[in-house]
Every structure is written in C-alpha cells, then in structure tokens.
Chain A
Amino acid sequence: MTKMLTVDTNPIDCYLRVDRIPHIWCAACGIGPATGCFVRAIDRAGLNPDKVSVVSGIGCSGRVAGYIKLDSFHTTHGRALPFATGLKLANPELTVAVFSGDGDIAAIGGNHLIHSARRNIDMTVICINNFNYGMTGGQMGPTTPLDARSTTSPYGNYEYPFNLPYLVAASGATYVARWTVLHLRELERSIAEALTKPGFSFIEVLSPCPTVYGRLNKLPRGLDEMHSYQERSIIRDGADPRDVELSQSGPIVVGKFVDIERPTLWDCYQQILDRASKPKKR
C-alpha cells in the first residue's frame, strides 16, 4: 500500500505572504480566486517568479500586491499603469502585471488605461470588476450597470457603464479577454497566455462583491452573484468587443475577444535607438 502524501500547507502558500494571511477580503469575495488563478498562471506559463513584478492601485483589488510573494508595488489610486510603464521601460526583462479594480483602472486611471493600450506596452492588466468601489463602501463606478444601486446612486445608477473590452480593444490592446471568477480554469489559461504574449494584454475578471454591491442589488450572498454568473454567462471566443456590454440582467459574454499581433512599445523604441546612434549625415 503506497503511502499517502500529506502536505501540511496549501501548495499555493509558497507564493503568498503567509504572515499576512488571513487576508482582508470579505467572505465570498472573488479577488481570492482571481489571485490564485494568477499565481497558478505564472507556473503554467513557466515564468521565473523573480522577474515577475506586480503593480497595483488602490482598492480591494489593489491589495493583491500585498499578498503575493513577488516584487510588488502598491501605488496610488489609478496610477498603477504609468508606474508599471516606467518599471517595464527601465527593465524590459521584467514581466509586469498590473492588478487593480474597475474604478482604479477605468475611472481615475482611465486616461492611463487608454494610453497604455495605445502604446501597446508589454504588460498584463488584470482588472477585477466588481461593479463598484468596494473598499470605500460600495459607491458607483464607471462599470456599475445602469439602474444598479450603490451608496452614491441610491435611486439607481443613471450613467451608462463602460464596455471595458471595447474600450481597451479600440485603444489598441493586442489581447483582450473577459472571464468571471467562476471560469477558473479558463481564467488561469488566459492569464498564462497574456503573461507570455508580448504587448498590452487586458483581462477583465467579473467578481462578486457580496458585502456591498451584491447586498445593495438583491444578491446578498456571494453564491447568489455566482449563480447569476452561471446562468447568464456565455463563452464566445472571438466575439466582437462591441457586442459584449454588460447590464444588470442581460447576458454576460465571456471569452477571449482580441488576440492580435502588433509591435510593442519597446519594439518601436528599438528603432529609435538605432536611428539615434547613427552618425548624423553632414
């Protein structure tokens, strides 16, 4: 009878700052599974963890940087992308991943989002979309669906939300995908693809937020929101990003929408370095 191998700790613990676990996220929060997928994707992609840097902004999703045992930077609200830009340009050998929330990336960080996508700088952005500003108590954000309730939209949100895949694809990203935290294996595979693919990769991850968004929108348990993903999501790889907008009760289209090739920012900069080093014609 062969012996059963007992492992005392969760195998993922070697990637976590276990001296800080349990983490601050609520019970049933989707950020934990997304972080797990990210960490397993690093292995799946065969990357050297010493060369992977994580930059995050402010918010619940921004706290990911503090729990992963890699070079990680917890920067200011909305500014993870330019920080990551500086990091990557100064050391192109780093694999830079930006982990942040919907408000951080698309509201205050919106300008940086579109410009980073435009430049096609080689980095992976994992945008955890829980449809509100969770850390500060559940205010509406640029991805809150129309008519959804939040603490700053008590009568229902009267603004149209972003269609993030469309926004980022239109800005020039070369890899755009959306998954929910229910689609764990697909998400893991997607992140692994994005990490190894040169260029700006953007993965929107829909996550339950039972404590605020869910509670205010008749989805009080995390399970309710997860069931809603289960019922409404439909996997459509290659869908046109124009057609994947989200609403409170409409279908949730997930999948890999854009996967194209385009020279990265660094590729273009190499040409500049070449031109600058040529002696001037007299």
Chain B
Amino acid sequence: MPKDDVLCGEFFMNGDTACAEGAISAGCRFFAGYPITPATEVAERMSERLPQIGGVFIQMEDEIASMNAVLGASWAGVKAMTATSGPGFSLMMENIGLGVMLETPCVVANVQRAGPSTGLPTLVAQGDMMQARWGSHGHYEIIALVPDSPQEMFDLTVLAFNLSEQYRVPVLLMADEAVGHMSEKVVIPQINSKELVNRPRPKVAPEKYLPYDSRKGLVPPMAVAGEGYRFHVTGLTHDDRGYPVMTAEAQDKLIRRLVDKIRLNIKDITKYEEVKIDDAEVVVVSYGISARIARYAVQKAREEGIKAGLLRLITVWPFADDRIRKLASAVKAFLVPEINYGQMVREVERCVAGKAKVRLISHMGGGVHLPETILEAIREEAR
C-alpha cells in the first residue's frame, strides 16, 4: 500500500477498526497503546495500518506510558491517539489532566466494559460516563463524544480530532464494547484535508512567542518542539509565559480560561440527535448502544400511539444543558436508559430541575436493555 493511503469506500468492519480508520482519515499518525479488551482491536488495526502510511505505532509498557507518549507526540506536532477501556482509563487519568493543563490536542478512546475494577472484560457497560467528566483531579472541562455504531465510531473519531485541535484539549471517545465489537457497514468518504482542523500556530517571531498568550483569545497558538520557539510548558499552574506561578490570581486566570474555552463554545461543540421530539410527551434521553435500543422502543411506542421521542446525546460532555432545560417545560417525563446505576440521569435531573419527571432505566452491565423494558417504561409514563 503506498504511503498516505487513507481508505475510501464502503466496508464491513467492526467498531474498533472503524475508530482506527477514522483516526487515520483525520490525520493521526501516532498511536501508543496497551492491549485491553475490548479496545485491543484499535491498537491491532493501528499497528497494521500506521507503518503502511509512514506513521508510528508503539505498544507501550502500560496505559500511563501510552497516555504520556501520546502527549509527547502531540507536542512534536503529530496528531496522536490512544485507546483503552475502564482499568486503563483509570490509569490514564493523571495524564489526561496533564494534557488538559498543557493544552495538548489528542484523542483518548475508552471502549467501555463493565466495572468497577476488572469487572466483565468482554461485556458492555456505560459506567465510565461520570469518570470521563471528573476522572482527573482538579477542576477542568473536557469534551466527550459517544458513538452508537461502527459508522459513528469512524465519524466521531474524525470529529474528535478536529475538536481536540480546535480547542487544544484531549477529547474522549466514550464508546462501549457493544459498539466496539459490532461489525456493520462503514462508509468512508473522501476526506478533503481542508476539512480537517489543525491547531492554531504562532504567527510571531520566537522571541515574542508566549505559549499561553491570553491576548490571543481563549485558545492560544501552539508551537511545537524543534522549531526554535524555545518554549517551556509545565503541569504546574502557569502564566502566559508558561512559567510556574504559585499564586491564587494565576490559578483563577488559568482555570477560568481552561474551562471557558469549552463552556463558552458549547453551542458549537455539543451535538445531539432528535427523533420525533417536536410533539413528544415522553422523551427518552440516551447515548451509545442504549440509544439504538431506545430508538426501536420509541418507534414501537409511536406505533402504539404514544407521543414518544428520542434525544440521542452525541456529545455527552459538555452536557446539552440548554436543550434539556427547554424540553423540560414541554415534556411530561424523561426516561434515561443507561448501562449503569445512574450517571447521566443526574445531569438530566439537574437540568430538568423538577419541572418534569425523570426516571432512570438502568442495566448494570454485561448486556444491553431489552427494547420491551424501555417500551414498558414509556407506556407507564405516557399514562
């Protein structure tokens, strides 16, 4: 296969493979990972494809090393990603925080499996959703996307890279084992390199360059190693020059910017899909594999005459606060089927603020909801 051969066409592939191909289409040329079920196939596909196109694949000694290698590669100017599952995700947390603090574009895929701890390594769950938001210490903001099919594994990986470059933040791809190991048709379009987003680059001379120049807006231009900018970046709280500064003022300024750069752009970042929402009385809020089942349940409910709708979250963090708040005034009940004991339902409850009923339909993991379970709940709420 000649170099720079990005796939194009229709394929039958599993979610993990589609994720790897999505990364390659997005321009990712560095993967560092560690085998973990059910994300291993991402690494395996990358190990096969990256050398074909002149990229670098390395299997590191653990997930901590993987995350750091990804950050290092990004600072050398190469789009980089890693893929893992629950236990590895926990290990990576400190250094996802480093990625946030250094403002490093990169993508971390978590193909969720049942936890906590070793849990059910080969079976699906959606138990890491809150961890995605709050997993690392300190207060920060992150972007997390949730695919519901191998096609979306491809599409959302491309989107993840674009968002990470645009906002200089690690973007989490919160897939689940069902979507990761499912094989379906994936259409890989011809991707024009102009459609891909690249990190803002400095336009000033090296002597004038500040790594975190707050005068350049919320997302400062990023230099990379080896270009003569001679910058210093640190995980310590720092000022515009990148130097550590141990003051409350510096902390205030830094945290506000790290969070605001995402929160103030929620409208551009947060995506969701609405199915039959306009006149819905019962709205099912779901994501990932649960949303596929919910979609079927909503369809069946409509056939029975129930005014049901589906709000499928594609961007789970930052959460679609405004949409839920708006719906809360118009809707009787929200149903939240998720494969955990209640994580995103808390966000829905927070936004609904008591204006409507919010009901969790939980499945602890190891399998997916039965459509009948969701349908029955819809029926009950519609009465």
Tell me, yes or no, whether A and B come into direct contact in the complex with CB atoms closer than 8 A: yes
A230 CB–B CB distance under 8 Å: no
Report if A75-B61 is in contact (Cβ < 8 Å); known contacts: A86-B32, A87-B75, A89-B56.
no
Classify the interface of chain B: helix, strand, loop or mixed: mixed
Q: Is the CB of A115 within 8 A of B61?
A: yes
B264 interface contact, C-beta 8 A: no
- Chain B residues with Cβ below 8 Å from A87 are 72-73, 75-76, 225
| Those of A52-105 within 8 Å (CB) of chain B | 53, 55, 65-66, 69-76, 79, 81-91, 93-94
Give Cα distance in the complex from A46 to B1, angstroms: 40
Does B94 reach chain A (CB closer than 8 Å)? yes
Contact partners of A85 in chain B: CB under 8 A: 32, 58, 60, 65, 68-69, 72
Complex contact A79–B95 (CB within 8 A): yes
State the CA gap A70–B32 with chains docked (Å).
26
Contact: A71 with B231, CB < 8 Å?
yes
Q: Within 8 Å of chain A (Cβ to Cβ): is B296?
A: no
Query: Which bucket holds chain A's interface residue count?
Result: 35 or more
For residue A86, which residue of chain B has the nearest CB?
Answer: B72
- Which of A31-39, A209-217, A240-248, A271-279 is found at the contact surface with chain B? A271-279
Interface: A111 (CB within 8 A): yes
A86, B76: Cβ atoms closer than 8 Å:
yes
Q: Are A83 and B51 in contact (CB under 8 A)?
A: no
* CA A76 to CA B98, docked complex, whole Å: 7
- Mask: chain A, 15-33; 1 = CB below 8 Å from B; 0 = not: 0010110000000000000
Query: Assuming the A-B contacts A74-B233, A79-B95, A276-B52, are A112 and B225 also in contact, with contact meaning beta carbons closer than 8 angstroms in the complex?
Result: no
Tell yes or no: A158 within 8 A of B by CB: no
Instruction: Kindly provide the distance from the CB of A155 to the nearest chain B CB, expressed in whole angstroms.
Output: 32
Complex Cα gap A86–B232 (Å): 17
Among A17, A20, A69, A74, the one with the most B-chain Cβ atoms within 10 Å of its Cβ is: A74
**A69 vs B241: C-alpha distance in the bound complex, in angstroms?**
12
Q: Given the known A-B contacts A51-B226, A71-B226, A269-B56, are A83 and B69 also in contact in the complex, defined by CB atoms under 8 Å?
A: yes
Do A91 and B52 have beta carbons less than 8 Å apart? Answer: no
B62 contacts A90, CB within 8 Å?
no
Q: What are the residues of chain B within 8 A of A93 when measuring CB–CB?
A: 226
Give the number of residue pairs across the A-B interface with Cβ within 8 Å: 146
Is B76 a contact partner of A94 (Cβ separation < 8 A)?
Answer: yes
Given contacts A51-B226, A74-B235, A90-B30, contact A112 B65 (CB under 8 A): yes
Q: Which residues of A contact B58 (CB under 8 A)?
A: 85, 89
In the complex, chain A residues whose CB is within 8 Å of the CB of B195: none
A75 interface neighbour in B70, B77, B235, Cβ under 8 Å:
B235
Residues of B within 8 A of A82 (CB): 32, 60, 64-66, 68-69, 72
In the assembled complex, B228 has its CB within 8 A of some CB on chain A: yes
Contacting A at CB under 8 A, from B217-251, are: 224-236, 243-244
Nearest CB of A to B250, in Å: 14
Is the Cβ of A79 less than 8 Å from the Cβ of B75? no
Distance A86 CA – B30 CA, assembled complex (angstroms): 8
- Whether A276 contacts B98 by the Cβ 8 Å rule is no
Q: Cβ of A231 < 8 Å from any Cβ of B?
A: no
What's the minimum C-beta distance from A124 to chain B, rounded to whole angstroms?
Answer: 15
Known: A20-B243, A94-B225. A75 touches B68 (CB 8 A): yes
CB contacts (< 8 Å) of B231 on chain A: these are 71-72
* Chain A residues within an 8 Å CB radius of B172: none
Assess the B72–A74 pair: CB atoms within 8 A: no
Q: Which of A50, A69, A76, A275 contacts B68 (CB 8 A)?
A: A76
Are A83 and B68 in contact, with the CB atoms below 8 A?
A: yes
User: Is there contact, CB below 8 Å, between B233 and A112?
Assistant: no
Interface of A is mostly: helix
Residue of B nearest to A24 (CB): B244
Which A residues are CB-close (under 8 A) to B56?
A: 89-90, 269
**A73-B233, A74-B234 in contact; A276/B51 too (CB < 8 A)?**
yes
In contact, A66 and B234 (Cβ under 8 angstroms): yes
The 8 Å CB contact of B71, one of A17, A51, A86, is A86
Interface residues of B in 24-57 (CB under 8 A from A): 29-30, 32, 48, 51-52, 54, 56
Cα–Cα distance between A97 and B236 once the two chains are bound (Å): 20
Are A91's CB and B78's CB within 8 A?
Answer: yes
Interface assignment of B3: CB less than 8 Å from any CB of chain A: yes
Q: Bound state CA distance, A111 and B63, in angstroms?
A: 12
Bound CA–CA A87/B73 (angstroms): 5
Q: Which residues of A contact B32 (CB under 8 A)?
A: 82, 85-86
Q: Which residue of B lies closest to A79 (CB)?
A: B68
With a CB–CB cut-off of 8 A, which chain B residues contact A19? 243
- B65 and A69 form a contact (CB under 8 A): no
B72 & A94 in contact (Cβ 8 Å cutoff)? no
Q: How far is the CB of B121 from chain A (nearest CB, A)?
A: 22
| Known interface pairs A70-B230, A74-B233; 6 further A-B residue pairs with C-beta atoms within 8 A, sorted by A's residue number | A66-B232, A73-B234, A76-B98, A85-B32, A90-B72, A112-B61
30 A-B contacts (beta carbon < 8 Å): A17-B232, A19-B243, A51-B226, A65-B232, A66-B244, A69-B230, A73-B72, A73-B102, A74-B236, A79-B64, A81-B65, A82-B60, A82-B65, A83-B69, A83-B72, A84-B72, A85-B32, A85-B69, A86-B30, A86-B32, A86-B72, A86-B75, A86-B80, A87-B73, A90-B30, A90-B72, A90-B78, A94-B226, A111-B62, A269-B51
A interface residues (Cβ-Cβ under 8 A, vs B)? 17, 19-20, 49-51, 53, 55, 65-66, 69-76, 79, 81-91, 93-94, 111-112, 115, 269, 272-273, 275-277, 279
Chain B: residues with CB nearer than 8 A to chain A? 1-3, 29-30, 32, 48, 51-52, 54, 56, 58, 60-62, 64-66, 68-78, 80, 94-95, 98, 102, 224-236, 243-244
A-B interface, 7 closest residue pairs, ranked by CB to CB distance from nearest: A86-B72, A86-B69, A276-B51, A74-B234, A90-B76, A82-B65, A90-B73
